[in-house]
Chains A and B, each alone.
Chain A
């Protein structure tokens, strides 16, 4: 089983749509969880940390379910500029990346 597993997509959505990404991780000892965003041929940029209580940052909501070892990211009111690859990242002693989920938002 992969350490961090994501659906690679692509997810094609129209502007204004709500889209959700999921991620599962295998190491139950993982301590921290993040969503990073990566644009084509650029570095990963931190989007948000993920907490068990759930956290929201504007149009983005992240959720962690430790029992199911599952992380989610919800994007509301998608913008063209949201088109990118979204990386699920889990931290034990080092960051472990999923393969990423590609999102394409079209006009």
Chain B
């Protein structure tokens, strides 16, 4: 069964450093998403991406964040200068389309720890 894969599974970084989280969405999917979940809190939307551009972003997704699809398979989330409060589980998701009944599938997540 096709799945969304994310690397690394766990990343520890020092405050102020840049991190890049990587995702390989399901191959025939066209819509890509990043979500995050701070420990003990709910899953929060960060950004959606379609046709090589951001289609929607939340207020969490400020200038420190960027997304890119550098080739035909990878979808990356970059945090330019990490803060302690960026520590969270980051989930990538993909879907074939958007609209009624469309299913999104999640990767296993990258646990980011900022120290």
Chain A residues near B (Cβ < 8 Å): 31-32, 34, 38, 41-46, 49, 87, 91, 93-100
Determine the distance from Cα of A106 to Cα of B55 in the docked complex, in whole angstroms: 44
**Once the chains bind, are A41 and B45 in contact (CB under 8 Å)?**
no
**Once the chains bind, are B101 and A94 in contact (CB under 8 Å)?**
no
User: Known contacts being A41-B89, A43-B91, is A97 close to B43, with CB within 8 Å?
Assistant: yes
Determine the distance from Cα of A41 to Cα of B100 in the docked complex, in whole angstroms: 29
Total CB contacts across the A-B interface at under 8 A: 53
**Once the chains bind, are B42 and A97 in contact (CB under 8 Å)?**
yes
Chain B residues near A (Cβ < 8 Å): 33, 35, 41-45, 48, 55-56, 89, 91, 93, 98-109, 111
**Once the chains bind, are A49 and B103 in contact (CB under 8 Å)?**
yes
**Once the chains bind, are B108 and A93 in contact (CB under 8 Å)?**
no
B-side binding surface: helix, strand, loop or mixed?
A: strand
User: Known contacts being A32-B100, A43-B108, is A93 close to B48, with CB within 8 Å?
Assistant: yes
Determine the distance from Cα of A13 to Cα of B78 in the docked complex, in whole angstroms: 42
Q: A93-B55, A94-B33, A97-B35 are in contact. List 12 more A-B contacts (CB 8 A).
A: A32-B100, A32-B102, A41-B111, A43-B91, A43-B106, A43-B109, A44-B43, A46-B105, A87-B43, A94-B48, A97-B45, A98-B42
Determine the distance from Cα of A44 to Cα of B45 in the docked complex, in whole angstroms: 13
Residues in B with CB closer than 8 Å to A100 are: 42
